[in-house]
Structure 1
Amino acid sequence: MGQSSGIGVLDKAVAVLEAVAKEPCGLAELCARTDLPRATAHRLAVGLEVHRLLRRGPDGRWRPGAALAELAGGATDPLLDAANSVLPRLRDITGESVQLYRRDGTQRICIATAEPPSGLRDTVPIGTRLPMTAGSGAKVLTAWADQATQRAVVTDAVFGERTLLEVRRRGWAQSVAEREPGVASVSAPVRDSTSTVIAAVSVSGPVERIGRRPGARWAQDLLAAADALQNRL
């Protein structure tokens, strides 16, 4: 075990994280690398898995979890820095809830938000994981994903390949009551310097306020926000 902080359980948890970071491992390997008793190593690994700091693959071995990347990226992630400037402006223009999503496999994660100060809102907390099977943000991230991901998502999605083709042609996506009853949204792709789609920026709110054609109302503002995010990266 490495340096001691004087807090035993913390030091042991860090030892587990460091052991798994070197190479994915099962329980026996974890015990060997950390010198922890089997019950202690298992309890800590399962607890870290609950908090998404570790994850178990199909082979049953623990690997670093998505939350580690999210925590590390929060301090130095240029996309989040750009979002802090761009998303509030988009919120002020639309008067609606704004979110930024990244894809993680066949799920999307909300990594930044900007909420209006009052009124009925579509609040999606940062860190929320949503399926890629419904919603305008899901359509955007799926439309520009690799072919294997597209096939995996479309199998269970409320949209099909024809919709994804239209999203790519049009450059944005909309949804009405797909992810949640009574909620409409419109989303646009955010690209990096190589034009690779790395995120989706979304505006969402009650259908009764946004209407059933949110794209006609907000698509150009979404596209402008996506360009602003790219320019700040």
Structure 2
Amino acid sequence: MTERQVDAAATLVTGVGVLDRVIAILDTVERAPMGASELARHLGLSVPTAHRLTGAMVRHGLLRRDGEGHLHPGERFAVSALSGAAEPVLEELRGETGETAQVWVRRGEDRLCLLTLDSRAELRATLPAGTRLPLADGGSAAEALEGGVAGDWYESVSGRTPGLCSVSAPVLLHGEAVAAVCLAAPVARVGDAGPGRLYGPRVVAAATRIERALATR
């Protein structure tokens, strides 16, 4: 074992092998991004094991790959800062529009409502924080999380829930959608204009403000 491998192995102290390897991988790529094969050599893992572990970690958002295939800590680590960055922005968005403002994040094949500030109107769209919905069920937040492009907004009118509409924009970090800002309202209050034309630019601006806040944390 090389000196570098000894240093890495010294952090593996719990005796829970898979967890220790995951932490060693995170510690390593935080210091120096690298590919899975180089990571295997660095930590003394077999190449198939390194590829299997890093592949699973990418799928769970613990790692991300850049354009050169180097591994970095993933978007899950931005979520801890996301609520704090998003709450004042959602407060302002709700105040400007009078409608329910939310932040959604991806969890595998689902989306999770991380934060919601409900409209104060008696008739309103509402889902509690912690709600989990399949991405396949659609909705503007699902579209923003799956196909998010900077400056774009996505609209849904009675798509997932009849009588409700929404407009969402992706929050990007390292070029990937780590969250979606969603403004949801009853169709009756939005009217023929639709939520995108009415509120799309404001939702995009809110998402951009959260991106900038995350980038400084």
TM-score, structure 1 length as denominator?
0.56
Q: 1:77 aligns to what SS in structure 2?
A: helix
Corresponding position of 1:125: 128
Match in the other structure for 1:222: 203
Task: Report the RMSD for the aligned CA atoms in angstroms.
Answer: 2.6
| Match among 85, 96, 99 for residue 96 of structure 1 | 99
Deviation of the 1:211 alpha carbon: 2.7
- Contact 1:184/1:211 (<8 A) preserved: no
> Does the CA-based 8 Å contact 2:150-2:170 persist in structure 1?
no
1:82 counterpart residue number:
85
Tell me which of 159, 176, 185 is aligned to 1:178. 159
Structure 2 letter corresponding to 1:226: A
Q: Could you give the per-residue CA deviations for residues 112-134 of structure 1, whole angstroms, max 9, x where no partner exists?
A: 01112232111111110011121
Q: Deviations over 1:66-114 (max 9, x none)?
A: 9xxxxxx89x811111112111100011100111000111110000011
Give, as a single letter, the amino acid of the residue that structure 2 aligns with 1:188.
A
CA–CA separation in structure 1 for the residues paired with 2:183 and 2:152: 15
Structure 2 residue 170 is matched with structure 1 residue 198? no
Q: Distance in 1 between matches of 2:119 and 2:158?
A: 21
Percent identity between the aligned chains?
A: 38
Equivalent residues of 2:110, 2:132 under 8 A apart: yes
Question: Is this contact kept in 1: 2:153–2:200, CA < 8 A?
Answer: yes
TM-score, normalization: structure 2? Answer: 0.60
Q: Distance in 2 between matches of 1:223 and 1:170?
A: 6
Give the 4+ runs in structure 1 shifted more than 3 A.
Answer: 21-24
1:108 counterpart (104, 108, 111): 111
SS at match of 2:184: strand
Amino acid at match of 2:200: A
Task: Give per-residue Cα distances to partners, 1:204-229, cap 9 Å, x unaligned.
Answer: 01101123521000011001101110
For the residue of structure 1 that corresponds to 2:88, the secondary structure is helix
CA distance in structure 2 between the partners assigned to 1:108 and 1:225 by the alignment: 19
- Residue 136 of structure 1: aligned partner: 140
- SS in structure 1 of the partner of residue 112 of structure 2: strand
Distance 1:91 1:169, change over 3 A: closer
For 2:146 and 2:175, locate their aligned partners in 1 and report how far apart those are by CA, in whole Å: 16
Q: Does 1:211 align with 2:188?
A: no
Tell me the CA shift for residue 195 of structure 1. Answer: 2.8
Amino acid at match of 1:216: R
Cα distance in 1, alignment partners of residues 97 and 205 from structure 2: 13
- SS across alignment from 2:127: coil
The amino acid of 1:190's aligned partner reads V
**Distance in 2, Cα, partners of 1:124 & 1:84:** 16
